[in-house]
Structure 1
Amino acid sequence: MSTATLKYTRLSPTKARLIAREVQGMNAELALASLEFTPNKAAKLIYKTIASAVANGGFEASSVHVISCRVDAGPVLRRFMPRARGRATPIRKPMAHIFVEVDEVKEKKSSKKSKGEVK
């Protein structure tokens, strides 16, 4: 099992979680292929993090699957926008932390019994 982390990225964690839920449990090669053509900022960053996790373990993308893809909230930059009559309204610029774990696919052992075999 290998992991990769992308911290303090300027991305809304709520929007990134939508993409992270899609790739969780998928084969890494399929996840990378689907993320490559998803027109979303989060998809590009999650793609890089999954590719990094695969490379960290020294695996091939076709032989591993994504165990977990988690997006946590990071710190929030607070800015203010001037408004009419001398007022100001707050603007929140959130950050996110992306964690990805990948592991090798374990082949299932066939449990077929021959007729002469007794348990």
Structure 2
Amino acid sequence: MEARATAKYVRISPRKARQVVNLIRGKKAQEALVLLRFIPKKAARLVYKVLQSAIANAENNWNMDVDKLIVSRAYVDQGPTWKRVHPRAFGRAYLIRKRTSHITIVVSEAEEGK
């Protein structure tokens, strides 16, 4: 059994968010929460909230044991890009891309042998 949580249209570049998500994949859920508290990146705060939500979903919706949960899957997909224009010299325009992300975290109970 697995529980998931998703944050969509998060205002951070997927490349930056993937750096943080790669650190917690496969770890115990409680260990991942502690790890995220001490990573000095904006993405860590956003991923922390999604992981908390996934743990709460597992506990309340699926009656899973919180102490046995592991982060089985965690990935970041690219969301829509907001395009903005920055004026430049001689009437030119420079395109600014404000990227968004969809962060998904799936937690499941660890097997007895692990």
| TM-score, normalised relative to structure 1 | 0.87
Match of 1:100 in 2: 105
1:37 aligns with 2:38: yes
Which structure has the higher relative contact order (CA within 8 Å, separation 6+)? 2
Amino acid at match of 2:88: R
Amino acid at match of 1:52: S
Cα displacement string for residues 78-102 of structure 1 (whole angstroms, at most 9, x for unaligned residues): 0010111111100000000001000
**Residues 1-119 of structure 1 aligned to structure 2 (within 5 Å):** 1-58=2-59, 59=64, 61-108=66-113
% identical aligned pairs: 44
In structure 1, runs of 5+ residues without a counterpart are 110-119
Amino acid at match of 2:81: V
Q: Tell me the number of residue pairs that the alignment of Structure 1 and Structure 2 aligns.
A: 109
SS of 1:3's equivalent in the other structure is: strand
In structure 2, runs of 5+ residues without a counterpart are none
Alpha-carbon RMSD: 1.3
Runs of 4+ off more than 3 Å: none
Is contact 2:86–2:96 with CA below 8 Å preserved after alignment? yes
| Higher alpha-carbon Rg | 1
